Structure 1
Amino acid sequence: MTRLFNWLFPHPAMTLILAIVWMVLQNKLSFGMAVFGLILGVIIPRMTAVWWPDRPSGFKIGKMTAYVILVMWDIMVANVQVAWIVLTRPNSKLRPAWIIIPLDLRQPEAITVLAGTITLTPGTVSADVSNTGHYLLVHALDAPDPDAVRDEIKQRYEARLKEIFV
């Protein structure tokens, strides 16, 4: 029974997310839309499972929910900060920096979430991951202390992602 479940639902969280996203995109809550969303949620992960051979074995949905809320808050705060910088500071006063962040994360999915988080947050962009996957290159719009930016990314985001992706 467990093998059948794992075969049908290689990514149970993705199945649920796809079903919910389908209903939100349709802007209609009905039994038919829910069933069709679940069908998509079963078919799409099943068809893409071959490209996820080393998917994370454990995933803590509660901690991921808290992480998403934190990132949404940080995006709102960073929008205000970047707007303030752009409106009040001339370009000659900006202190952009390239920052190399050593990664403790090893799972590609976790590194992807970290890179996406950095890029989604205004004022920073993840530009590259080293060939070994041990370093992330980030550009910051205004970083008077690049080491502080690196430390904040590691403590605020990477540490939480290490707890989420087990």
Structure 2
Amino acid sequence: MIKRLLPHPALTAMLVVVWLLMANSITVGGILLGLVFGIVLPKFTEPFWPDRPRVRFRGALLGYVGLVLYDIVVANFEVARLILFRRNRDLRSRWLVVPVALSSPEAITVLAATISLTPGTVSSDVSADGRFLLVHALDVADADAEIARIKTRYEAPLLRIFA
């Protein structure tokens, strides 16, 4: 019964949270409307997700969210330092081609979004076969080290989350 009502429980929870963030207040009406959206939209889009990935919602996901939030805060200060105290010609911006071991489109999307959320880097394209991600970095001394950092810091936990 629950599976029929909530075909995508994670999407339902995310939609409720996003609705409450957009409403910028927590009220009974806002929660109820968020729940309506959270139940109706996944039910409506269920036919478009025939092979939805299995996601582990335990410590790995919470750890990943914490890591990404921490990296966003740290990267904001690093980018502010770069902009305020370095000249533009001293920046070493580069395009990085990151090989991707993730197989599901949802996992690749989360990786690309994580990279774009972190100030100083932007993921701009995924290869047609989904095996490479094109990333622009604002200031990189060693391209190979930055690619390795992306793979170990972000992709490795996503491989555990999207089992």
TM-score by length of 1: 0.89
The residue that corresponds to 1:54 in the other structure is: 51
The residue that corresponds to 2:26 in the other structure is: 28
**What is the root-mean-square deviation of aligned Cα atoms in Å?**
1.7
Q: Deviations over 1:145-166 (max 9, x none)?
A: 0001100000000001111111
Alignment of 1:17-166 (within 5 A): 17-24=14-21, 25=23, 27-30=25-28, 32-166=29-163
Letter matched to residue 10 of structure 2: A
The residue that corresponds to 1:15 in the other structure is: 12
SS of the counterpart of 2:97?
strand
| Distance of 1:122 and 1:43 partners within structure 2 | 34
Q: Displacement, 1:133? A: 0.2
SS of the counterpart of 2:129?
coil
Letter matched to residue 152 of structure 1: R
With over 3 angstroms needed to count, the CA separation of the structure-2 counterparts of 1:61 and 1:109, relative to structure 1, is farther
| Distance of 1:21 and 1:98 partners within structure 2 | 32
Q: Displacement, 1:36? A: 3.3
With over 3 angstroms needed to count, the CA separation of the structure-2 counterparts of 1:158 and 1:107, relative to structure 1, is same
Letter matched to residue 133 of structure 1: G
Q: Displacement, 1:43? A: 0.4
Q: Displacement, 1:57? A: 2.4
Q: Which runs of no fewer than 5 residues in structure 2 stay unpaired?
A: none
Is the contact between residue 126 and residue 139 of structure 1 (CA under 8 Å) also seen in structure 2? yes
Q: Deviations over 1:59-81 (max 9, x none)?
A: 32432222111111101111111
Q: Displacement, 1:41? A: 1.2
Letter matched to residue 151 of structure 1: A
Is the contact between residue 60 and residue 165 of structure 1 (CA under 8 Å) also seen in structure 2? no
With over 3 angstroms needed to count, the CA separation of the structure-2 counterparts of 1:95 and 1:26, relative to structure 1, is closer
Query: What is the aligned residue count?
Result: 162
With over 3 angstroms needed to count, the CA separation of the structure-2 counterparts of 1:124 and 1:43, relative to structure 1, is same
| Distance of 2:20 and 2:121 partners within structure 1 | 32
